[in-house]
Every structure is written in C-alpha cells, then in structure tokens.
Amino acid sequence: MNKYLDKQALLKWLDQRCKENNEEFEVDRSGEDMEIINEIKSGAFDVDQTEVQVLRAALHKITQIFDDPNLHDLTACQEMNRVAKEALSTTIEPTNATTKVTNNG
C-alpha cells in the first residue's frame, strides 16, 4: 500500500458514502461522518513535510550533478545514486542536502 493518498479523492469518497448511508439507514450519523471529514481536512493526516523537503533537496543536488560538465559520466552516476539512496533512507534532511556540488562531489 502506498503511504501517500489523494486527500480530495478520499474526501469525495467519504462524502458519497455518507450520503449513501444516510439514505439507507434511518439513524442520522451525519455528525460522526462530518467529524471524520473535518479531521482529514484539518491536516491531521498530512504527510510530514520534512520528508518532502529531503526529496526536493536530493532532486536539486542530483540535477546539479547531472548538469556539471566537469564530472565524468561514471562519477556523476555514482554520485547521483549515492544522493538518491541517502534521501530515500532517511526522513530527516541531510546536513549537506542544499550545498553546491563541486568537482570533488
């Protein structure tokens, strides 16, 4: 199962289920249903932005490596692979994620 979801699609699905349940059953559950919907809308289940920042920083660094004309292709590939693995293995931003790439890597 993917750890990310489309919040709008989920809210649309829940809204449809609430309407169907309220039509099918005589018990009014709209308050309970709205509590669930409001909790999702509040951001309580949003993805940790730290992880998103790590991936953005890694993409930026990989792009810099790719664009560096002074790096040999094999060296560049190895460095891009290292950056990607580092970003995907952690949920905290690497301390050097936004530093400019030099010829030394």
Domain spans, the chain:
7-41, 48-105
* Interval 49-77: pLDDT, tens: 777 788 889 999 999 999 998 888 888 89
For the chain, the three-class secondary structure string (H helix, E strand, C coil) is: CCCCCCHHHHHHHHHHHHHHHHHHCCCCCHHHHHHHHHHHHCCCCCCCHHHHHHHHHHHHHHHHHHHCCCCCHHHHHHHHHHHHHHHHCCCCCCCCCCCCCCCCC
Q: What is the pLDDT of residue 23?
A: 74
- The pTM of this model reads 0.43
* Interval 7-41: pLDDT, tens: 888 888 888 888 777 777 666 666 677 788 888 88
Q: Between 1 and 6, name the one with better pLDDT.
A: 6
Q: What is the pLDDT of residue 26?
A: 62
Q: What is the pLDDT of residue 40?
A: 83
Least confident range of 14-18, 27-31, 44-48, 96-100 = 96-100
Closest alpha carbon to 4 in 48, 35, 36: 48
**Residues 37-45: contacts with CB under 8 Å, at least 24 apart:** 37/11, 40/7, 40/10, 40/11, 40/14, 41/11, 45/7
